[in-house]
Amino acid sequence: MGSNGEHLRALGTSHPLLNTAPSHDAQMDYYGTRLATCSSDRSVKIFDVRNGGQILVADLRGHEGPVWQVAWAHPMYGNILASCSYDRKVIIWKEENGTWEKTHEHTGHDSSGTIGCNAVSWAPAVVPGSLIDQPSGQKPNYIKKFASGGCDNLIKLWKEEEDGQWKEEQKLEAHSDWVRDVAWAPSIGLPTSTIASCSQDGRVFIWTCDDASGNTWSPKLLHKFNDVVWHVSWSITANILAVSGGDNKVTLWKESVDGQWVCISDVNKGQGSVSTSVTEGQQNEQ
Amino acid sequence: MKLKEVDRTAMQAWSPAQNHPIYLATGTSAQQLDATFSTSASLEIFELDLSDPSLDMKSCATFSSSHRYHKLIWGPHKMDSKGNISGVLIAGGENGNIILYDPSKIITGDKEVVIAQNDKHTGPVRALDVNIFQTNLVASGANESEIYIWDLNNFATPMTPGAKTQPPEDISCIAWNRQVQHILASASPSGRATVWDLRKNEPIIKVSDHSNRMHCSGLAWHPDVATQMVLASEDDRLPVVQMWDLRFASSPLRVLENHARGILAIAWSMADPELLLSCGKDAKILCSNPNTGEVLYELPTSTQWCFDIQWCPRNPAVLSAASFDGRISVYSIMGGSTDGLRQKQVDKLSSSFGNLDPFGTGQPLPPLQIPQQTTPHSIVLPLKKPPKWIRRPVGASFSFGGKLVTFANVRAQPQPGAEQQPQPQHVFISQVVTEEELLCRSEQLQQAVQSQGFVGYCQRKVDAAQTEFERSVWSFLKVNFEDDSRGKYLELLGYRKEDLGKKLIKEEKQESEFLPAAGETFNISISGDIDGLITQALLTGNFESAVDLCLHDNRMADAIILAIAGGQELLARTQKKYFAKSQSKITRLITAVVMRNWKEIVESCDLKNWREALAAVLTYAKPDEFSALCDLLGTRLESEGDSLLQTQACLCYICAGNVEKLVACWTKAQDGSSPLSLQDLIEKVVILRKAVQLTQAMDANTVGVLLAEKMSQYANLLAAQGSIAAALAFLPESTNQPNIVQLRDRLCRAQGDAVSGQQESPRTPYERHQVSKGRPGPVAGHAQMPRAPAQQYYPHVRIAPTVTTWSNKTPTALPSHPPAASPSDTQGENPPPPGFVMHGNVSPNVAAAQLPTSPGHMHTQVPPYPQPQRPQNGWNDPPALNRGPKKKKMPENFTPPVPITSPIMNPLGDQSQMLQQPSAPVPLSSQAPFPQPHLAGGQPFRGIQQPLGQPGMPPSFSKPHIEGAPGAPIGNTVQHVQSLPTEKITKKPIPDEHLILKTTFEDLIQRCLSSATDPQTKRKLDDASKRLEFLYDKLREQTLSPTIINGLHNIARSIETRNYSEGLTIHTHIVSTSNFSETSAFMPVLKVVLTQANKLGV
């Protein structure tokens, strides 16, 4: 592994002209060709970012408060984006004939201010290891599980029972402050399930579960940061974790051969000083 | 929204932020009496349990105190890291006393809860604050301008911040600066605030607006800006909060005039500097932004005044307020629903009456109907502006292709007096690359494939090999691209033909000296001994007896010589007898060589001799059995040998050209989990595939699930590093495995090829579902991965002439080939007329629309997107026609022969392609008719049938097209095989009982030919007719197993009854139960004939 920054090649550029308000989320679609951002100015924006470009495709208005998160639907459902806002609305946006429009709106979502759920993350739909064990062609077992992280410092795992009820299956306790984000690692066919969690306490834990019942989780401290850790995100191949901290730093972590988590890069951007003309393939040495 | 309430007239203190769960300590308030006029006092600790919807707070402990309190704070001093309840409760009493309590002891019910006590102050201690940088430092204020700094580690002797201010006044507020640890501020009801520098031990600035109306009831430092603070006034004539900046201390920076009457308490949120709580004699609790003056929230309160208000340090949305009506209320500024809460109260009420029948009437109480509130939903709205702690300031999310999207919101430093300008915010997309070496090696591999520099590539690998095994693997792979591959294999195994030749010559020279001179006379023995008997037999022409006599006398050489003279049959019998008698060590080898039973060697040799066995196979095996024999040996090594031999099996599979088994064996032997070990494997596989393709004899068996799996793993790996194009090049193309189909789609789109505009409707290989309205369950339930129908979106539309597939399903895909909609359909039987060359993109709707949609699912028939641009000369491309070093340029519409499609693997495969297979055994005589290469639309080339080695022929024509492996004899090797006398074959007649097969099949082909109309079909049939010669040859040699023979007879019978579908069923059965190498030369052809006959209805 090389020095910081070596693993990052700046691809695209920023679009400061378009996002003047603080962003709260930025998500690429399934293919990595479109970027949805949402920000405190109540807007949801979609950019076409193919080939390093940044064409504003849509500026979606409908929220009456800062927009916290955006989420793309799987393309099997079409080009669909969901957004949620401080206005307690969840809006479903859909592209039809090249135009993005609001198709659904769910209002009056209760705030979780008192109980305090900060994040949820779906488990992979496929039972761990089933891709390996099962003969090909056989339909794998699907499960519905998710993890939640909240103000009670706990990560909770929920599973859908046969009667359709969601049951709390497990409590994972290691953080000493609010759990800010949980991220269930994508399944790459291995029998191990992995969850990353980050907290107000500055800690990031990697939780793993090897047993078939899915009930024995053991935490491993990835790192203790000096600031709130807001966000964790797994790479598609589930081997790199991006950690976003309150110091506006993003770090990338990878598990070494001996099972230790090593920081492989600092993504120290967003200081407003990065040139907007960074060209494709250029090394970002910032 | 109110969360909890406790009926206490008390001062309050939240447990420190570190503490979990959250506790609230209350101490009976001084100078206030409740309705009972009770003068008793207590210190209590409550737990804040937000998961309990009731309004009650759980009391954890009560300590009866002799003091009543003016101020209560809870410092984190000496808290352990585990967050166990600890810290210090610091209370300001009525008589100049400061008392330190141990909260953990209060909770455990310990009687000795006081840590220390000091009554140095004069009058009530109304002001207390803990230094957040040094939590052992506590400042206190009382009457007579008294300010003390206490060190909790040395509580006996307090310090002072400097000389007392004059005139003496009460200290109502005291606060440590939030940024600079040695700065302290104090304020008094007179309206003056003083800022102390403890390093200088003196006041550094006094803050006052000289209005004389600022009766300070509250003082708070800005959480972030060191020089800013607010002062609150309880004077009804000036009910304001003043914001001061010490850099401009002449007048307040801002005045918040949101209260109608005097303000009793303020609290500035440490979690969000834009949240300042204030409560006043107007009975309001307001939350304002002190930086703008805007009121963000008004708490729904009663008409009572609150005299104390505190943010909960741990949960920044929670605050508590103590009101004069003897109640402490806990609120959330985030709003919420109160429905559950009220229901809880009703339940509680009912239960307190006991079992729903409190009056013993025998009738349970009817459920209480709660009058509906006027608001439709009893939802309390949250703060107008979202607080900072829920505004995610930074984030990074991975997306497909190893891209990382990051954003971070730059904190603008607030400038005094200036409105904050929104800072431009940036969202970045970065490429994350973690496997540089993998990418580098992948690039090298692609270059090797593109430049066809296989020999050089292999050589570099040989040179760089770290292990002996690695070196041999690459050496073996390299041989595939060289002339005389079999010979070179032998050399690698340690057998050098030239060496042996030299030794032989030596021996022959010695022998020749003992040869009798010609022309010498000799005696014919007529004695009665064995010699005489042999003489008699010979003279009467009775070879058989002569041989028997020789054998009896153990004169083996004589017996064999005589048997040769006595004819084939006698020779064969004599050989058998000889082998039965002979005991020599190499007898079995000789037996195998003479009987051409290589299988015997491979099956029975000691595995230590695997090299010798492989050498024998390389030397002798016929092309159609070569690959199977290598396989067999490999399988034995893999299953029986030790771990060392298991790895050697890889070499056998390389010789066999069996990619799938190589993958399996390699995977077993290596740790395949790391990217680089996958790279190791892929390099070998790609090179071996190329070798197989170069010899024009790709064995369809080599493509299988395992290889596809590995290749898609590899493609995923490349994609994750951002090498989308490379990932596409390596991804197996023609497969219906859903994960591969999906990955291909994803890669294509990621590359930006497919979506050319926003007008396009989404076209994906997934089953489409309508987003259901209001029923989340079923939607999720349907979100299953696409299954087989997904393949319909991948009709094989070809663009580039070099694009091909590598699967067994559609082994060729050159321009003249029709687009096959899917491997399982039969469209290939109606190909376009010969000469039809598809250029570019054919409207794919045709293919897609013909496919059935499976019922019960929402399928949107969408046109498959065009084949994406892909790097040409991908690893799975066929050798380009215009660039092989061994080949000359071909005519444009030349289609090279195609390997046999395995009927075992694909009994329902597109049989039209079978016609293109080359003939199997090598013609042994150079006069033997050379199998005509299939020429697609090749009318101009029809009739070009030239003997081997004819000058002027394109080299690839002159190369026999052999089924089998890269090592199978080609070119020079053929000569080698021919020189062996044991390979001499005379054509025998087909046994009478099997003649019926030939006549039936030929008759059927003739019938088909007469009714077939289109030239392509006719050509297929012509081809089939020729290729069935292989079957007839096998019948002549009687080498087919009885089950196959029986099956063929059954097929013949079904042909006679024109029941072709039954014939096809039998065909499938034969294929699935027989040895591939035994049937591959003719069974596919037979299937084509049967299929055509069925179709033509002849």
Is the confidence at residue B397, as pLDDT, over 50? yes
Residue A28, strand partner residues: A35
Q: How far is CA B87 from CA A18, B15, B25, in A?
A: 49, 8, 12
Checking if the pLDDT of B47 tops 70, the result is yes
Evaluate whether A214 touches A193 at the Cβ level (below 8 Å): yes
Instruction: Verify whether the Cβ–Cβ distance B720 to A236 is below 8 Å.
Output: yes
Hey, which residues 147-186 in chain A have their CB within 8 Å of chain B? 151-153, 164, 176-177
DSSP string covering B163-228 = SPPSS-----EEEE-SS-TTEEEEE-TTS-EEEEETTTTEEEEEE--S-S---EEEEEE-SS-TTE
What is the model's pLDDT at position B196?
Answer: 93
Residue A158: pLDDT over 80:
yes
Partner-chain contact A9 B386, CB within 8 Å: no
Contacts of B335 in chain A (CB under 8 A): 111, 113
β-bridge partners, B72: B91
Minimum CA–CA partner of B337 in chain A: A110
Q: Do B758 and A26 touch (CB under 8 A)?
A: no
Mean pLDDT lowest among A33-47, B43-57, B386-400, B492-506: B492-506
Contact A230 B426 (CB under 8 A): no
Return the number of CB contacts < 8 Å for A and B. Answer: 288
Please say whether the beta carbons of B455 and B884 come within 8 A: no
Residue A233 CB contacts under 8 Å (≥ 6 apart), including other chains: A183, A241, A242, A244, B395, B396, B397, B398
Locate the chain B residue with the closest alpha carbon to A73.
B771
A contacts of B438 (beta carbons < 8 Å): none
**Number of helices and strands (H, E) in chain A?**
1, 21
pLDDT tens readout for residues A227-285: 999 999 999 888 899 999 888 888 999 888 788 898 887 665 433 322 222 223 333 33
CB crowding A75-91: b at 16 or more within 10 Å, else e: bbbbbbbbbbbbbbbbb
Q: Which residue has the higher pLDDT, B762 or B1098?
A: B1098
From chain A, pick out residues whose CB is under 8 angstroms from the CB of B413: none
CB within 8 Å: A37 and B427: yes
* Cβ-contact B616, B490 below 8 angstroms: no
Q: Give chain A's mean pLDDT.
A: 78
Set of chain A residues whose Cβ sits within 8 Å of the Cβ of B82: 176
A residues 241..270 contacting B (CB < 8 A): 242-246, 248-250, 252, 254, 264-265, 267, 269-270
Give the pLDDT confidence of B1016-1044 residue by residue, as tens digits. 888 888 888 888 888 888 888 888 888 88
Q: Please report the sign of the dihedral spanned by the C-alpha atoms of residue B1004, residue B1007, residue B1013, residue B1015.
A: positive
Q: Residue A52's closest chain B neighbor by CA?
A: B429
List the structure tokens of A192. Answer: 């191990």
- How high is the pLDDT of residue B66? 83
Q: How far is CA B603 from CA B611, B623, B634, B640, in A?
A: 13, 18, 10, 11
Per-state percent for chain B, helix, strand, coil, to nearest 5: 35, 15, 50
Residue B336 has pLDDT above 50, yes or no: yes
Longest dimension (CA), chain A: 55
Q: Which of B386, B404, B434 sits opposite A264 (nearest CB)?
A: B434
Which chain B residues are within 8 Å of A39, Cβ to Cβ? Answer: 425
Across the interface, which of A10, A26, A176 has its CB nearest the CB of B405?
Answer: A26
Task: Calculate what percentage of chain A has a pLDDT beyond 90.
Answer: 30
- Among B409, B430, B768, the residue with its CB nearest the CB of A8 is B430
Which chain A residues contact residue B390 at CB under 8 A?
Answer: 68, 86
B-interface mutation test, from A44, A142, A236, most B Cβ less than 10 A away:
A236
Structure tokens at B176: 């440590």
Share of chain B above pLDDT 90, in %: 10
3-class state of residue B916 by DSSP: helix
Most confident of A91-105, B465-479, B982-996: A91-105
- pLDDT attached to residue A46: 92
pLDDT of residue B14 exceeding 80: yes
Mean pLDDT of chain B: 72
Is pLDDT at B592 greater than 60 in this prediction? yes
From B724's Cα to the closest Cα of chain A, the distance in A is 11
Tell which wins on pLDDT, A13 or B196.
B196
Q: Are B275 and B228 in contact (CB under 8 A)?
A: no
Given pLDDT bands bounded at 50, 70 and 90, which one contains residue A59?
very high
pLDDT of residue A92: 92
- Mean of pLDDT values over B42-64: 86
Q: DSSP letter for B890, please.
A: P
Do A243 and B317 count as a contact with CB atoms less than 8 A apart?
no
Gap between the Cα atoms of B1030 and B963, Å rounded: 12
Please answer whether residues B268 and B222 qualify as being in contact, where contact means their C-beta atoms are separated by less than 8 angstroms.
Answer: yes
pLDDT band of residue B244 (cuts 50, 70, 90) is very high
Distance from CA of A216 to the nearest CA of B (A): 23
pTM of structure = 0.65
| Packed helices B1060-1073 and B1042-1056: angle between N→C axes, nearest 10 degrees | 170
pLDDT level of residue B183 (50, 70, 90 thresholds): very high
On chain B, the residues whose CB falls within 8 A of the CB of A94 are 771
A66 class by beta-carbon count within 10 Å (0-12 exposed, 13-18 middle, 19+ buried): buried
Chain B: closest CA distance from residue A34 (Å) = 9
Comparing B388 with B40, the larger pLDDT belongs to: B388
> Burial code of B410-425, b = ≥16 C-beta within 10 A, e = fewer?
beeebeeeeeeeeebb
The pLDDT, as a whole number, for residue B382 is: 75
Whether B698 has a pLDDT exceeding 90, the answer reads no
The minimal CB distance from A250 to the residues B333, B394, B400 is found for B394
d(CA B881, CA B620): 31
CB atoms within 10 A of CB B348: 12
Confidence label for B383 from pLDDT (cuts 50, 70 and 90): confident
Q: Examine the pLDDT at B215 and tell me if it is beyond 80.
A: yes
- Check B392 against A250: CB less than 8 A apart: no
Query: CB B407 to CB A103 under 8 A?
Result: no
Interchain proximity B426–A25, CB inside 8 Å: no
**Residue A22 in contact with partner chain B when CB distance is under 8 A:** yes
> Do A113 and B780 make contact, defined as CB atoms within 8 angstroms?
no
Task: For residue A270, list chain B residues with Cβ-Cβ distance below 8 A.
Answer: 394, 406-410, 425-426, 428
Tell me whether A73 touches chain B (CB under 8 Å): yes
- pLDDT above 50 for A159: yes
Subunit contact A8:B431, Cβ cutoff 8 A: yes
Whether residue B234 contacts residue B281, with contact meaning beta carbons closer than 8 Å, is answered with: yes
Q: What ipTM was assigned to the predicted interfaces of this complex?
A: 0.86
Is pLDDT of B950 > 60?
no
Residue A32: closest C-alpha in chain B = B400
CB of B51 closer than 8 Å to CB of B109: no
The partner residue sitting opposite A244, judged by closest CB among B394, B757, B785, is: B394
Residue B175 has pLDDT above 90, yes or no: yes
Average pLDDT over residues B396-411: 84
Q: Do B399 and A29 touch (CB under 8 A)?
A: yes
Q: Does A33 touch chain B (CB under 8 A)?
A: yes
Q: Do A136 and B406 touch (CB under 8 A)?
A: no
Contact list, B426 vs chain A (CB under 8 Å)? 14-16, 19, 269-270, 272, 274
B875–chain A nearest CA distance, Å: 23
CA distance A254 to chain B (A): 9
Terminal alpha carbon distance of chain B: 87
Predicted pLDDT of residue A202? 93
Strand partners, B117: B99
Q: Which residues, numbered 82 to 141 in chain A, qualify as contacts with chain B under a Cβ-Cβ cut-off of 8 Å?
A: 86, 92, 94-95, 97-98, 103-104, 108, 110-111, 113-116, 125, 136, 139-140
* Alpha-carbon radius of gyration of chain A: 20
The more confidently predicted of residues A209 and B300 is A209
Q: Supply B265's token pair.
A: 């308490």
Q: Is the pLDDT of residue B20 over 50?
A: yes
Assigned token pair, B170: 């009460």
Please report, rounded to a whole number, the percentage of residues in chain B having pLDDT higher than 70. 65
Hey, is the C-beta of A65 within 8 angstroms of any chain B C-beta? Answer: yes
Q: What is the DSSP string of A86-101?
A: TTS-EEEEEEETTEEE
Confidence of residue B630 (pLDDT cuts 50, 70, 90): confident
Q: Which residues of B touch A86 (CB under 8 A)?
A: 382, 386, 390
Q: Spell out which residues of chain A touch residue B83, defining contact as CB-CB under 8 Å.
A: 176
Residue B627 vs residue B308, higher pLDDT = B308
- Distance in angstroms (rounded) separating the CA atoms of residues B386 and A87: 10
φ/ψ of B590, rounded to 5, equals: -60, -45
Optimal mutation site among A122, A161, A235, interface B, most CBs of chain B within 10 A: A235
Q: Is B904 or B259 the better-scoring residue by pLDDT?
A: B259
Longest dimension (CA), chain B: 160
pLDDT higher than 90, residue B311: yes
Amino acid B900 reads I
